[in-house]
A and B are shown apart, each in its own frame.
Chain A
Amino acid sequence: MSEALVDLIVIGAGPAGISAALEASARGLAVVLLDEQASPGGQIYRNVAQSDARSREVLGADYVAGLELVEALLASDVRYQPNAAVWQVTEERRVHFLQDGNAHVLRGRQLLIATGAMERPMPIPGWTLPGVMTAGAGQILLKNAAMVPQGPVVLAGCGPLLYLLAVQYLRAGIRIEALVDTSGRHEAFRHLGRLREALAGWRDLLKGLSLLATLKRAGVKHYYAAENLRIEGGRRAETLYFDSQGQSHKVWASLILLHQGVVPNTQVTQSLRVRHDWNDPQLCWVAYRDSWGETSLAGIFVAGDGGAIGGANVARTQGRLAALRIAQQLQKIDEIQLHKLALPWRRLLHQQGAARPLIDALYRPQKRNRIPDDETIVCRCEEVSAGAIRSYVDLGCQGPNQTKAFGRCGMGPCQGRQCGLSVTEIIAQQRQVPQASVGYYRIRPPLKPITLAQLASEREFDLSVISTLERSLT
């Protein structure tokens, strides 16, 4: 059987992936875009093509900005494949995915990984109780299901996305019981040094300030510098305890949405064993990339939040730049054209990324909420506590792969997505060494579960089957 080969495979139909696919297609490349969801947009533009007027009103302008991008995708020659769950990617750029219960494999001359971001784990006591979810989950329910909290909701954590969700809920008429903010009110003064460089991204700064102003005007109870968060309940969340500015608080809540920033979803890149570095300002692993987005493996690129957190606009620009480089590497444009075309995007990228260091510093998650006390569960799949991990370090484990062998943390269905960062940091703290020298889980396929029957019946992907008609969505 001949190998199914295409110029470019893009994994992830968020802002980075779509932008890259469109740019590459415009340069004459044959592109297959694989995405796990049923419709394009990634996380930020989730379901934008199907959203109604009321939802768009609630979600705001930044969300609606994605509509143009998604419509451009659907009108293009990009072979967009929804409901495609990638379960393995190889160095040779073979992508194995599951779609409608069938296992396929497809090879690309070049590969772009645009898997975006996911919520940073927030392992506080009681975080596994039913009724505790993430702010991202709240947004997904809003975008995909037009659903909002029924009763009073508590938002806890830090970061601009938390404020955004609060404002979106206000627009929908939802009562916010409390905004328990783990960042300090006067953080800005500590980070004045970053302010000057951040001013190039003044639009982003203004956005953040206006969100806070909206919350204040609406009279939302906003507790700053919250510490010692603890959720309690029988078989579901019932109360949130915390301290704020010298006072102890107890808030009744059956729905608590947690958020302390987003981190790159590095399952694919880690499974490829490309070089990753520990990024301390962002407290996460970041795949090394050159200025075009190429990783330490030739022909494999990363764009968007899946590399390092930069937001949707940065993602779109990075997607373009990667696509241009890929087009040049596949000889659709020459080097001179490449640099000429890239120049305006590079300028834009600088501006779009200017505010990021300040945002990172302002909303740096507290240590206690990343590296919890012994009793708190860190690995939800296998029910492994922080204390258990510490005990394995005391037994001699140097890193997460050894603690995995000793205690099964990271062996469950989520394959370390929810616990990986926590485990790296707990071990680093216990050993008193930097996170960079502790390392991360060795990530193995399958990146998504696949049945044995599906695995045994894998076929080369039939490129001839795709036509422009097949991408129709109502």
Chain B
Amino acid sequence: MPTDALFRSLQLAPNHVRITFDGMPLSVPAGVSLAAALLAHDVGHTRESPVNGRPGAPYCMMGVCFECLVEVDGQANAQACLIQVEDGMSVRRQRGARDLLIGGADDE
């Protein structure tokens, strides 16, 4: 079954690390940016605009466009292209504005 990932590794047998994306386990190339790692899989979009929910994904890969914002290990709005991917990272789509998680209440 062909994958629809937009990018693949040039090397024949690159090292891999394991992360999760929105709970889904992924095996991604090691030693690359988190944005690159996600592009090696068919994750579709990586964030939803806080203004109108528009789906977004990495665009410039150099830290100037802020499209690649994701939640990494609980920290929201991290620029995936400026973070090195690491084994065990828990990554989530940045869906709109971040939650401040005041007082640990589930519902407000």
Contact = CB atoms under 8 A, between A and B. Distances in A.
Q: Do chains A and B touch in the complex (CB under 8 A)?
A: yes
Nearest to A134: B60
B58 A54 contact: no
Given A131-B6, A147-B9, A417-B65, A36 B82 contact: yes
B61 A141 contact: yes
The size bracket of the interface on B is 35 or more
Contact of B61 (A136, A235, A414, A418): A136
B45 A418 contact: no
B19 to A, nearest CB: 15
Q: Could you tell me the dominant secondary structure of chain A's interface residues? A: loop
The size bracket of the interface on A is 35 or more
A249 to B, nearest CB: 22
A236 interface: yes
Interface in A129-152: 129-134, 136-137, 140-142, 144-151
Interface in B22-65: 29, 31-33, 36, 39-40, 44-46, 49, 51-52, 54-65
Contacts of A36: 63, 82
Contact of A146 (B5, B10, B44): B10
A265 B10 contact: no
Contacts of A52: 11
A89 interface: no
Contacts of A235: 44-45, 55
B65 A418 contact: yes
Given A144-B33, A150-B6, A383-B52, A133 B66 contact: no
B36 A141 contact: yes
Contacts of A136: 60-62
Nearest to B78: A449
Nearest to A142: B10
Contacts of B4: 150-151, 254
30 contacts: A36-B63, A54-B11, A130-B55, A130-B57, A131-B6, A132-B59, A134-B61, A136-B61, A140-B61, A140-B62, A145-B29, A145-B31, A146-B9, A146-B14, A147-B7, A147-B32, A148-B7, A148-B8, A149-B6, A150-B7, A151-B4, A235-B45, A236-B55, A254-B6, A380-B56, A380-B59, A381-B51, A383-B54, A414-B66, A418-B65
Interface of B: 3-11, 14, 29, 31-33, 36, 39-40, 44-46, 49, 51-52, 54-67, 69, 77, 81-82, 84
Q: List 9 A-B pairs, minimum CB-CB distance, nearest first.
A: A130-B57, A145-B32, A137-B61, A145-B36, A413-B66, A140-B61, A146-B10, A383-B51, A150-B8
